[in-house]
Chains A and B, each alone.
Chain A
C-alpha cells in the first residue's frame, strides 16, 4: 500500500480544525457513556472480590444471598464455559476466579438484584471460605529462590531451563558483539532501574448493560475500545456463538489501552442469562484500581558504551516486567523499543515475563516502551553529562534514519526521528535559561504503531450527504478525522459526512481501537471506501453520458469527462448522481476491508524543565515541549491533544503515580485520593510541535500519534529532575520521599 501519487493540490479539509461531530452531545451531557444506558426490567449487578492476595477458595455459599427477595441471580465460575485454553482461559480466570484467588480484588462471585443498593447489600450475604496462601507482589522478589509459585507449568517454550517457575516467557533481540563494542568505548555506564505499576486512570469506570436469553441470543452495550473483540471473547466465555451476541459500543470515557479487554461484560451476560432479565454492572473506582489492568511494574539493567565524540559503541538491556498473575507482560516491547531510536552496531536486549499476585496487566499506551526508554535514555543522559556533550547533539549523531537497521531487527522505512531532534534543538525552549534549582531533561521515544483488521462502509443518501460506518470506537475525536478524510476524498463539505461507530452486526470484524491504529487504519479504509464509492459514481455518470467508465474522472466532488476525447458534458455533482440513484442502478455505497501492513512507526523528542525543592523532595515540571512526527496531522487540534495527554500521563508516572502494596499483599491506594494523577494546578502548558514526515503506508501519510507521546516523558522528566537535584534518579515515581532520600544520601556522601 503506497502513498498515493503526489497530490497536485493542497488538502482542502485534511489539516483543518473543524468542530467534532459528536461535540454538542458531549458538552450538553447528552452523550451516552457506559453507565448511561438502561433497559426496562433491568437488574443491577455487583461483584464480590477477594480480600486476599493469594488464597485457595475452599467453598462459596450463596444460599443466604439467593434467599433475599431482591436478588434474582447469583453466578460463580461454574456459570461460565469450561472448555477454554490459552489467553481465553486467562481472561476467564481473571474475570471470575477458579480454584484460587490470585490477587486482592479478584472476582469470586456476582449477584443481580433489583437495585444497585440491594445488589451491594447482597454481597455481604455470600460466605466464602478461603485458605490463605503465600504471596508475592514484587517483580524481583517473585523470581528469588523460594518465592511462591503463582502457577506451576505456566512457562512457555521460550523460557530457558532452570529459571524460576514465575518466569513464563523470555525474549531476546539484537545484533553485533556487545562485548567488542563496550571495549571500544571511552566510557561505559551500567545502571539498574525500577518503575512502579501505574493505572491508565480513565475517568469512566467500566460499565455495561447485558441481555442474554435462554435462546443464546444476546445484546451487550458497553464502554469498550473494541466491541468486535468484546463480542468474540464474551461469546466464548459464556459459551454462545459470536454472531448471536450483538455488541453496541457506548461513548467511551477514556481507555488508554485499559478497555481493550473485558472484565464485567461476561459476568453481566451470565447473570442476565440466569435471571432472564437485562443486567447492568458499573464498577466502583476502587474496583477499577483493584481488578482492572494496570500496567506492568519493571526492573531493568541497562549498559551503554560511548566514545568521547558521542558515538554509542554498544548497548545492552535487561527488562523484567511483571504483568500480574497472568502471562503477557509487555517485556518484549520494552526490550524492542528501548534502543529503537539509535543506529547501533552492537546491541542486545533481553526480556523476562514474570508472574506476581497482582491484577492482570492490560495495555497502557505503548505498553512496555516508556519503561525501556526511561532506563536507556537515563543512561544516555548520564553519559552526556560525564562526557560534557550536548544531549540532543549526541542523539542526532546516533539517530536512526531511513534504511537503518532497527535494534530489534528490520530496516526502517521513511521515519522522522532526526526531524524531531532538529526541531527540538531549534526550539526556544531548548535555548531558554534555567533558573536556580531547575534542571533540563531530554529524551527520545519510539512506538511501532499497529494496523489490524479494518472494515468500513460508506453510504450515500438521496440528498447527496454521506453516512460513514466504522468499527473502531471513538476514544479521542476520531469521528472528526474520519469525516475529514471522507470529505477530502469525495470532494464534499466536512459537514456532509456523518460518522457512526457501527455495532458488531453492521460491519465486518474490526480490531480494537488500540495501537494508535484508528486514524491510520480506519482512515485508510475510509479513503479506500470513498474511492470505491467514486468508482461507482463515475460509472453512473458514464452510463448517463453513454461513454466508457474509464473516460470519467472524479474531481472536486464532481464526475467530469476525462478529457476532450471523452466528450463534452456538464460535470455531475455527487448530490446530482445520488438524487436519482434508485433509478440509475440502485443504492450507492462503498466498502473496504483490509488488514493493512503499512502502519508507520513514529518517534518523538521531549524537552522538560523541572524544579526541585531540596528540603522536601518535591519536584515540579515547569516547562514542557513535545516534538513528535505525526506523518500527516488530519485534525491538528486532536493531534496536539494526544501529545499533551501522553506527556501529562508521563508526568504522573514519573512523579507520583504508583500502585502501593502493603505487607498484607493488598493494594493500599485504590482511589483517586492516593493514586495521585496530575491535577490542573500541577502543570504548565504543554507546548507541541507537529512534525510531518509522511508515512508511505497511508494514502495521506498518516502515522499513529496516540502512544508515542508517552514514551519519552519518564526519561525526559527523570533527566530533568536528576539534573536539577544533582542526583541520578533510577526509581519511578520520583515521589518526594524517594527524591528527598536520594538527595540526602548524596549529601552525606
Chain B
C-alpha cells in the first residue's frame, strides 16, 4: 500500500492505496467523495472529471499515488457554503441536467473553461466539453447554461 498526502477541496487529507488504484477509486472509495462518477474508466466520457493542480483531468486516468503533494478539486468543492457556484445555479435554472450523472464532471470542466476563457463562444464551449458525454440533454441546455454563467461571472 502507498501512503498519499494531498489537498482535496482545500483540505489536507491522506490515505493508503493499492498502486493500481486510480485517483477516482481513491476519491470515491477511500475519501467517500462520490461526486465524480466512473462512466467508462478509459477517459472517454469525462464523468470523473476533477481539477488536478487547476487542470481538468479524468480522474480514472490518474493513479491515486500520483496525488502526492497535489491539489485536487472536485464537484463537492464548487459551492462556497450555502452559495452555489454560478455554473451550478445556471444548470438548475436552465434545466441543463436530466439524469444528472454527467453533471458533476461537466460542471468541473466548465469551471476550468471559464477560469481561462471568461467569454467563450458557443463553439469554444462545445469543443472544450467534447470530452464530457451527456446522453440525456443533447447538450443544448448545457451550452446555454455555461454561456449564461459566463455572462454572470463577467459582470460580478
**A interface list, Cβ under 8 A from B:** 17, 19-20, 22-24, 26-33, 35-36, 115-117, 200-205, 251-256, 282, 284-285, 475-477, 635, 637-638, 640-641, 644-645, 647-649, 671-673, 677-681, 683, 685-686
Given A476-B99, A681-B123, A29 and B140 touching (CB < 8 A)?
no
B103 touches which of A27, A641, A677 (Cβ 8 Å) = A27
Does the CB pair A253–B100 fall under 8 Å?
yes
| B129 interfacial by beta-carbon distance below 8 Å | yes
Given A28-B78, A36-B34, A285 and B141 touching (CB < 8 A)?
no
- Ranked 5 nearest A-B pairs via Cβ: A29-B35, A253-B101, A648-B138, A26-B100, A637-B95
| B8 interfacial by beta-carbon distance below 8 Å | no
Across the interface, which residues of B come within 8 angstroms of A685, CB to CB? 122, 140, 143
- Across the interface, name the chain A residue whose C-beta is closest to B99: A254
B127 touches which of A31, A284, A671, A681 (Cβ 8 Å) = A681
Does the CB pair B98–A645 fall under 8 Å?
yes
Interface membership of chain B positions 119-156, coded 1 if the CB is closer than 8 angstroms to chain A and 0 otherwise: 00011011101111111111111110000000000000
| B18 interfacial by beta-carbon distance below 8 Å | yes
Across the interface, which residues of A come within 8 angstroms of B74, CB to CB? 29
Q: For the A-B complex with A26-B103, A253-B37, A641-B95 known, give 20 more contacts whose Cβ atoms are closer than 8 Å.
A: A19-B93, A23-B92, A27-B84, A27-B100, A27-B104, A28-B84, A29-B36, A201-B135, A203-B47, A203-B99, A251-B99, A253-B101, A640-B95, A641-B141, A677-B133, A679-B129, A679-B133, A680-B134, A683-B140, A685-B140
Does the CB pair B18–A31 fall under 8 Å?
no
| B102 interfacial by beta-carbon distance below 8 Å | yes
Across the interface, which residues of A come within 8 angstroms of B36, CB to CB? 29
Across the interface, which residues of A come within 8 angstroms of B103, CB to CB? 26-27
Given A29-B104, A254-B101, A672 and B141 touching (CB < 8 A)?
no
| B72 interfacial by beta-carbon distance below 8 Å | no
- Rounded to whole angstroms, the CA-CA distance of A673 and B44 in the bound complex is 6
Given A28-B35, A35-B37, A680-B126, A254 and B135 touching (CB < 8 A)?
yes
| B112 interfacial by beta-carbon distance below 8 Å | no
Across the interface, which residues of A come within 8 angstroms of B25, CB to CB? 116
- Rounded to whole angstroms, the CA-CA distance of A284 and B25 in the bound complex is 13
User: How close is A715's CB to chain B, nearest CB, in angstroms?
Assistant: 18
| B20 interfacial by beta-carbon distance below 8 Å | yes
Given A203-B37, A253-B37, A475-B98, A641 and B136 touching (CB < 8 A)?
yes
Across the interface, which residues of B come within 8 angstroms of A671, CB to CB? 40, 42, 44
Does the CB pair A477–B98 fall under 8 Å?
yes
- Rounded to whole angstroms, the CA-CA distance of A252 and B136 in the bound complex is 12
Given A203-B101, A477-B95, A28 and B79 touching (CB < 8 A)?
yes
Question: What's the A-B contact tally at a CB cutoff of 8 Å?
Answer: 184
Across the interface, which residues of B come within 8 angstroms of A256, CB to CB? 135
- Rounded to whole angstroms, the CA-CA distance of A477 and B28 in the bound complex is 25
- Rounded to whole angstroms, the CA-CA distance of A252 and B142 in the bound complex is 19
User: How close is A62's CB to chain B, nearest CB, in angstroms?
Assistant: 24
| B97 interfacial by beta-carbon distance below 8 Å | yes
Across the interface, which residues of B come within 8 angstroms of A253, CB to CB? 37, 39, 99-102
Across the interface, which residues of B come within 8 angstroms of A17, CB to CB? 95
Does the CB pair A645–B75 fall under 8 Å?
no
Does the CB pair A35–B98 fall under 8 Å?
no
Across the interface, which residues of A come within 8 angstroms of B95, CB to CB? 17, 20, 477, 635, 637-638, 640-641
| B45 interfacial by beta-carbon distance below 8 Å | yes
Could you write out 21 A-B pairs with CB less than 8 Å apart?
A: A23-B92, A26-B103, A27-B92, A29-B34, A202-B99, A205-B38, A251-B100, A253-B100, A284-B41, A285-B45, A475-B99, A476-B98, A641-B95, A641-B138, A645-B136, A672-B42, A679-B131, A680-B132, A680-B134, A681-B130, A685-B140
B88 touches which of A27, A201, A254, A679 (Cβ 8 Å) = A27
Across the interface, which residues of A come within 8 angstroms of B28, CB to CB? 35-36
- Rounded to whole angstroms, the CA-CA distance of A33 and B39 in the bound complex is 12
User: How close is A119's CB to chain B, nearest CB, in angstroms?
Assistant: 13
- Rounded to whole angstroms, the CA-CA distance of A190 and B42 in the bound complex is 44
Across the interface, which residues of B come within 8 angstroms of A200, CB to CB? 135
| B69 interfacial by beta-carbon distance below 8 Å | no
- Across the interface, name the chain B residue whose C-beta is closest to A118: B18
A33 touches which of B84, B101, B122 (Cβ 8 Å) = B101
- Rounded to whole angstroms, the CA-CA distance of A521 and B113 in the bound complex is 41
Does the CB pair A645–B41 fall under 8 Å?
no
User: How close is B102's CB to chain A, nearest CB, in angstroms?
Assistant: 5
Query: Which of B21, B40, B41, B42 has the most chain A CB atoms inside 10 A of its CB?
Result: B40
- Rounded to whole angstroms, the CA-CA distance of A645 and B47 in the bound complex is 18
Does the CB pair B94–A204 fall under 8 Å?
no
- Rounded to whole angstroms, the CA-CA distance of A203 and B136 in the bound complex is 9
Does the CB pair B130–A679 fall under 8 Å?
yes
- Across the interface, name the chain A residue whose C-beta is closest to B100: A26
- Rounded to whole angstroms, the CA-CA distance of A644 and B139 in the bound complex is 8
- Across the interface, name the chain A residue whose C-beta is closest to B132: A680
- Across the interface, name the chain B residue whose C-beta is closest to A33: B101
Given A24-B92, A672-B44, A680-B139, A30 and B133 touching (CB < 8 A)?
no
| B76 interfacial by beta-carbon distance below 8 Å | yes
User: How close is A352's CB to chain B, nearest CB, in angstroms?
Assistant: 30
- Across the interface, name the chain B residue whose C-beta is closest to A644: B138
Does the CB pair B97–A27 fall under 8 Å?
yes
Across the interface, which residues of B come within 8 angstroms of A641, CB to CB? 95, 98, 136-138, 141
User: How close is B47's CB to chain A, nearest CB, in angstroms?
Assistant: 6
- Across the interface, name the chain B residue whose C-beta is closest to A28: B79
Does the CB pair A686–B133 fall under 8 Å?
no
Across the interface, which residues of B come within 8 angstroms of A28, CB to CB? 35, 75-76, 78-79, 84, 88
- Rounded to whole angstroms, the CA-CA distance of A496 and B131 in the bound complex is 39
Across the interface, which residues of B come within 8 angstroms of A282, CB to CB? 38
Given A27-B97, A681-B123, A205 and B42 touching (CB < 8 A)?
no
- Across the interface, name the chain B residue whose C-beta is closest to A480: B95
Does the CB pair B44–A637 fall under 8 Å?
no
Across the interface, which residues of A come within 8 angstroms of B102, CB to CB? 203, 253
- Across the interface, name the chain B residue whose C-beta is closest to A25: B100
| B114 interfacial by beta-carbon distance below 8 Å | no
| B23 interfacial by beta-carbon distance below 8 Å | no
- Across the interface, name the chain A residue whose C-beta is closest to B36: A29
User: How close is A708's CB to chain B, nearest CB, in angstroms?
Assistant: 15
